[in-house]
């Protein structure tokens, strides 16, 4: 099923690309020099991963689209990223909440993908896992610092985590593509990631003196199928401007 593997790879690539673009928006505006550099580094890591996934997706598609065509010449409804990663940066607490939820899931997913029956996916996952294990450690550490920090940082962190909670359900909800990938042993059963994710997130929350939002809360979905929030269009408009205005521009 090359079509479904193509869709699946696009999801991996689009998650990384969109989150990378969001994090890059902090570049030069971070709350501290060290944080500015850290977020830019995470953004670069994700961009590197996106390139691997896009290249492979392009090869499977066989239509001659390279990684740039994938990233810069597709419209919002063609993107298959999670709604979580396209959410705006907001305050630093919002950015961290988004990062923490995603990092923990990303880590668990890549860990499983290293055992993929597709050797190329396994290899990229293995390489990415080293970076993502650091991302998860870093964002978790910061959630603890802010949650268990001042009264204000605690309140802001809790509010941000509550606000973004409804975008986490999509990470564990398999659709036909996910099921096809799982059946072929290419990707793990998404639902199986939920328990370890909740466990890890719950542990960090309790260390951070934060309260875990209700597990059965109503969840948003649609990103993986191309139904996005309004934010993605603006993000892509900025990200894709140069290639759209000056097709084929390089430097």
Residue 34 Cβ vs other proteins, minimum distance, rounded to whole Å: 4
Q: Which stretch binds other proteins (CB under 8 A): 8-16, 35-43, 120-128, 171-179?
A: 35-43
Q: Which is nearer to other proteins, 35 or 189 (CB)?
A: 35
Please state whether 226 falls in left (phi above 0), alpha (psi between -120 and 50) or beta: left
Q: Which of 90, 210, 218 is nearest to 166 (CA)?
A: 218
Separation CA 244–CA 236 (nearest Å): 11
Q: Which is nearer to other proteins, 70 or 96 (CB)?
A: 96
Q: Which is nearer to other proteins, 149 or 226 (CB)?
A: 149
Q: Which stretch binds other proteins (CB under 8 A): 37-45, 64-72, 100-108, 201-209?
A: 37-45
Burial 201-216 (b: 16+ CB within 10 A, else e): beebbeebebeebeee
- 47 makes contact with other proteins (CB under 8 A): no
Provide the mask over 126-145, with x wherever binding to other proteins is found by CB under 8 A and - wherever it is not. --------x--xx--xx--x
- 151 makes contact with other proteins (CB under 8 A): no
Q: Quote the tokens at residue 60.
A: 């499977």
Q: Which stretch binds other proteins (CB under 8 A): 34-42, 59-67, 82-90, 161-169?
A: 34-42
Q: Which is nearer to other proteins, 35 or 61 (CB)?
A: 35
Q: Which residues bind other proteins (CB under 8 A)?
A: 32-34, 37-38, 41, 134, 137-138, 141-142, 145
């Amino acid at each position: 099923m090359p079509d479904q593997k193509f869709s699946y790879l696009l999801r991996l690539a689009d998650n990384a690309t969109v989150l990378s673009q969001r994090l890059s928006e902090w570049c030069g505006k971070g709350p501290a020099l060290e944080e500015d550099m850290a977020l830019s580094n995470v953004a670069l890591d994700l961009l590197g991963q996106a390139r691997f996934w896009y290249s492979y997706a392009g090869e499977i598609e066989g239509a001659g689209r390279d990684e740039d065509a994938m990233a810069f010449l597709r419209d919002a409804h063609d993107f298959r990223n999670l709604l979580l990663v396209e959410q705006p940066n907001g305050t630093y607490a919002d950015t961290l909440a988004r990062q923490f939820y995603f990092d923990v899931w990303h880590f668990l997913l890549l860990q499983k993908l290293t055992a993929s029956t597709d050797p190329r996916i396994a290899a990229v996952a293995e390489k990415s896992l080293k970076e993502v294990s650091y991302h998860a450690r870093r964002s978790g550490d910061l959630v603890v610092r802010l949650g268990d920090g001042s009264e204000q940082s605690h309140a802001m962190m809790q509010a941000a985590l509550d606000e973004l909670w409804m975008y986490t359900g999509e990470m564990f909800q398999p659709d036909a593509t996910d099921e096809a990938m799982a059946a072929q042993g290419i990707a793990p059963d998404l639902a199986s990631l939920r328990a370890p994710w909740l466990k890890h997130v719950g542990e960090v929350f309790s260390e951070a003196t934060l309260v875990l939002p209700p597990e059965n809360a109503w969840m948003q979905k649609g990103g993986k199928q191309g139904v996005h929030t309004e934010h993605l269009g603006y993000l892509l408009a900025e990200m894709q401007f140069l290639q759209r205005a000056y097709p084929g521009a390089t430097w």
